[in-house]
C-alpha cells in the first residue's frame, strides 16, 4: 500500500459524502478534476518530502544549543517547502493571501501529510490555526503583517495555554499581562508548548492566554500575540527546557519563560478563551487527522506484511501467506473497517464545518454549526485513539517483528499515545459532549445527527441492507441512552461518572453509520482481497 492508494481511497469516500455534493454546489471551483490533482500532488509531496524525515527525526530528536532549539536535519527545509508549495495556506482566506479552499479539501490532504511526518506537522498545525485566529481576532494591520508570513512558512506560531499548576483547568492560569505606557507586558511560565522554539522560521509568534484583571476563573483571561522578536531585538522569551518524551521526538515540546515580554492584545480584553477556540477547534480536527494518518500507515503496513509473510499450513506444501489465515484476516478486516470508518467520519465533519460557513440561509448555517459542534469531540478523541489502537493492532499482526525498530510501527505507537491527551483529554471531550452539546444546547446537535444519519441509512440502494439495519438499531439504542443522560441533569456527578461511556456510545453510533458508507464504496473489501491475493 502507498500514499497514492490512500489518496485514491479518500477520494472515493469523499465522493460518497453527501455534504460534499452540497459544498460543490456552493463552490464552483471544486470540480472533480481539480480536487483529484490536488490530492495526488499532496500524496507525492508527503511521500517524497516528508516521509524520508520521519524515522531520522525520531532518532535524532531535538536539542538546545546556546539557548535555542535545534530541530532534526531537514526539518527547516521541509517546513519552507511546505509553505512555498501552498499547502499551509490552502484554507487561509484569500483576502490574506491564502487559497481559500474548503476545509474538507484541506482535511483530505492533511492525513497524508501526517502520515508522512507527524512530528513536523505539529509546527504546521499551530501555524495554520494561528492564521485563522489572527484573521478573526487581530487588528487589520497585525493580521495583514502576520498571516502572509505565517502562511508562507517564513514565520511560525504556537499556542501557549498550559502552566505548571494549570493544565486543563484554564481558570487557574497565573501568567499576567500588565498595560504599561500603552504597551502590554507579559510575565509567567508556559509549558507543553509544541515547537515553542526552533530554527525553522525567522520569527515565532506565541498565541498566549494571560490574566489582565483579578476576575476569577476564565473571565480575567485575555489573548495576546507575543512575538519572539521585534525587528533585530529578541523579546524576553526564554527556553527553560525541552521535554524528554515517549514519542514525537522531532517535535520540541518546550517550557517557556516570559519576563516582561512585549505582547499585542488580540480582540477584546477578558475574552481570551472564547477567541482562542477559533484556533483550538481547528487543532482538534487536526488531531483527528493525525490519528487517521498514522492508522492509515499502520493498516497498510499490516496488510502488506500479511500478504508477504508465509507461515503455517500443510508442512508438505509451501506455506501460505498469513493473510489467508482466518484469525489474521479478522484482524486485518477490523483494522481496515475502523480506519476507513474514521476517514469517512472526518470527511463528514469537515463538510459540515464548511456548510456552517457556506450555506445560504442563516438557519441552515446554524444547524450545521450545531451539528459540527456535536461531531467534533468524537473526531478529536477517536481519531486520536485510532492512531494508537490501529498501530497496536498492526504490531500484533507483525508479531515480534513489529516490536522492533526494523519497522516504524513502534514509532507510530509512541507518537500517537499523546494524541488523546493534548487539545483536550478523553475525559474533557466526554464532559464537553455531555454538558455542552447535549445539556446546554438542548440536544439540538444530537437531533441533527440522528436525522442526518437516518436519512443517509434509508436512502436509495439500502433496502434490505443488513449493515444499514444494524446501524439503524445502534442509532435507536443511542437515542434511548441520550434520553436517559438528558434526564440525569439533576444528578450531575452521577452523569459525569458515565460521561466516558456516553462518549463511546456516541462514537459507536457515528462509526456504525460510516461503516455503511464504507461498505458502499467497497474499499474495505478491496484491501482485504489485495492482501490475501
What residues act catalytically?
A: 423
Q: Which residue has the cell 507579559?
A: 186
CA neighbor of 367 nearest in space, from 282, 448, 440, 433 = 448
| Phi/psi at 257 (5° precision) | -115, 125
Q: Report how far residue 445's alpha carbon sits from residue 364's, in angstroms, rounded to the nearest whole number.
A: 13
Burial annotation 3-23 (CB, 10 A radius, 16+ → b, else e)? bebbbebbbbbbebbebbebb
Q: Where is 64: in which H helix or E strand?
A: strand 63-65
Cell of 288: 483527528
Q: 235 with 226: CB under 8 angstroms?
A: yes
Residue 492 makes CB contacts below 8 A (sequence gap 6+) with none
Pairing of strands 253-266, 237-242: antiparallel
Cell of 129: 490555526
Q: Report how far residue 170's alpha carbon sits from residue 218's, in angstroms, rounded to the nearest whole number.
A: 7
CA neighbor of 205 nearest in space, from 273, 281, 275, 262 = 262
Residue 250 makes CB contacts below 8 A (sequence gap 6+) with 53, 54, 57, 58, 60, 61, 62, 71, 72, 75, 117, 119, 120
Q: Which residue has the cell 434490505?
A: 464
**Could you tell me where the beta strands, DSSP code E, fall in 127-268?**
155-160, 176-180, 183-194, 203-211, 221-227, 229-230, 233-234, 237-242, 253-266
Q: 369 with 38: CB under 8 angstroms?
A: no
Q: What is the DSSP string of 342-404?
A: HHHHHHHHHHHHHHHHH-SSHHHHHHHHHHHHHHHHHHHHHHHHHHHHHHHHHHHHHGGGGGS
Residue 486 makes CB contacts below 8 A (sequence gap 6+) with 438, 439, 443
Q: Where is 434: in which H helix or E strand?
A: none
Distance of CA 329 to the CA centre of its chain: 29
Q: Other C-beta atoms within 10 Å of 268: how many? A: 12
How far lies 294's CA from each of 154, 308, 326, in Å? 27, 21, 25
Q: Report how far residue 219's alpha carbon sits from residue 216's, in angstroms, rounded to the nearest whole number.
A: 6
Amino acid at each position: 500500500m502507498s500514499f497514492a492508494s490512500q489518496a485514491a481511497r479518500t477520494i472515493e469516500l469523499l465522493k460518497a459524502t453527501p455534504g460534499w455534493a452540497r459544498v460543490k454546489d456552493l463552490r464552483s471551483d471544486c470540480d472533480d478534476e481539480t480536487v483529484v490533482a490536488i490530492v495526488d500532488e499532496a500524496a507525492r509531496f508527503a511521500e517524497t518530502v516528508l516521509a524520508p524525515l520521519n524515522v531520522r527525526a525520531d532518532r535524532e530528536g531535538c536539542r538546545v544549543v546556546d539557548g535555542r532549539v535545534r530541530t532534526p536535519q531537514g526539518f527547516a527545509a521541509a517546513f519552507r517547502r511546505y509553505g512555498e508549495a501552498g499547502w499551509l495556506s490552502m484554507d487561509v482566506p484569500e483576502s490574506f493571501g491564502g487559497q481559500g479552499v474548503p476545509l474538507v479539501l484541506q482535511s483530505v490532504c492533511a492525513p497524508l501529510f501526517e502520515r508522512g511526518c507527524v512530528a513536523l506537522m505539529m509546527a504546521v498545525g499551530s501555524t495554520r490555526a494561528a492564521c485563522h485566529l489572527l484573521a478573526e481576532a487581530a487588528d487589520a494591520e497585525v493580521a495583514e503583517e502576520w498571516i502572509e508570513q505565517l502562511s508562507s512558512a517564513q514565520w511560525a506560531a504556537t499556542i501557549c495555554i498550559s502552566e505548571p499548576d494549570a493544565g486543563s483547568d484554564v481558570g487557574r492560569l497565573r501568567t499576567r499581562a500588565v498595560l504599561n505606557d500603552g504597551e502590554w507586558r507579559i510575565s509567567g511560565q508556559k509549558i507543553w508548548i509544541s515547537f515553542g522554539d526552533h530554527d525553522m522560521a525567522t520569527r515565532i509568534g506565541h498565541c498566549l492566554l494571560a490574566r489582565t484583571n483579578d476576575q476569577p476563573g476564565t473571565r480575567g483571561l485575555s489573548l495576546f500575540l507575543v512575538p519572539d522578536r521585534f525587528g533585530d531585538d529578541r523579546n524576553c522569551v526564554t527556553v527553560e527546557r525541552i521535554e524528554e518524551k515517549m514519542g514525537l521526538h522531532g517535535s520540541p515540546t518546550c517550557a517557556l519563560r516570559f519576563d516582561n515580554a512585549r505582547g499585542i492584545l488580540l480582540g477584546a480584553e477578558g475574552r481570551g478563551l472564547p477567541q482562542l477556540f477559533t484556533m483550538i477547534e481547528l487543532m482538534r480536527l487536526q488531531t483527528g487527522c493525525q490519528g487517521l494518518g498514522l492508522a492509515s500507515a499502520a493498516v497498510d503496513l499490516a496488510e502488506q506484511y500479511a500478504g508477504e509473510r508465509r507461515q503455517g499450513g500443510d508442512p508438505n506444501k509451501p506455506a501460505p501467506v498469513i493473510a489467508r489465515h482466518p484469525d489474521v484476516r479478522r484482524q486485518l478486516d477490523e483494522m481496515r473497517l475502523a480506519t476507513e470508518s474514521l476517514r469517512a467520519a472526518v470527511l463528514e465533519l469537515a463538510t459540515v464545518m464548511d456548510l456552517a460557513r457556506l450555506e445560504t440561509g442563516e438557519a441552515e448555517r446554524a444547524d450545521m454549526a450545531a451539528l459540527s459542534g456535536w461531531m467534533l469531540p468524537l473526531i478529536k478523541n477517536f481519531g486520536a485513539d485510532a492512531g494508537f489502537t490501529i498501530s497496536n493492532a498492526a504490531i500484533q499482526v507483525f508479531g515480534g517483528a513489529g516490536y522492533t525498530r526494523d519497522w516504524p510501527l513502534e514509532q507510530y505507537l509512541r507518537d500517537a499515545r499523546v494524541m488523546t491527551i493534548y487539545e483536550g483529554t478523553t475525559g474533557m471531550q466526554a464532559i464537553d459532549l455531555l454538558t455542552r452539546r447535549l445539556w446546554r444546547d438542548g440536544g439540538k446537535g444530537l437531533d441533527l445527527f440522528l436525522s442526518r444519519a437516518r436519512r443517509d441509512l434509508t436512502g436509495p440502494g439500502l433496502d434490505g441492507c443488513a449493515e444499514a439495519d444494524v446501524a439503524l438499531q445502534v442509532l435507536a439504542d443511542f437515542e434511548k441512552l441520550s434520553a436517559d443522560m438528558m434526564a440525569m441533569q439533576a444528578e450531575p456527578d452521577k452523569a459525569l461518572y458515565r460521561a466516558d461511556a456516553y462518549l463511546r456510545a456516541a462514537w459507536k453510533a457515528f462509526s456504525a453509520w460510516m461503516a455503511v458508507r464504507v461498505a458502499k464504496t467497497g474499499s474495505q473489501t478491496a484491501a482485504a482481497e489485495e492482501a490475501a491475493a
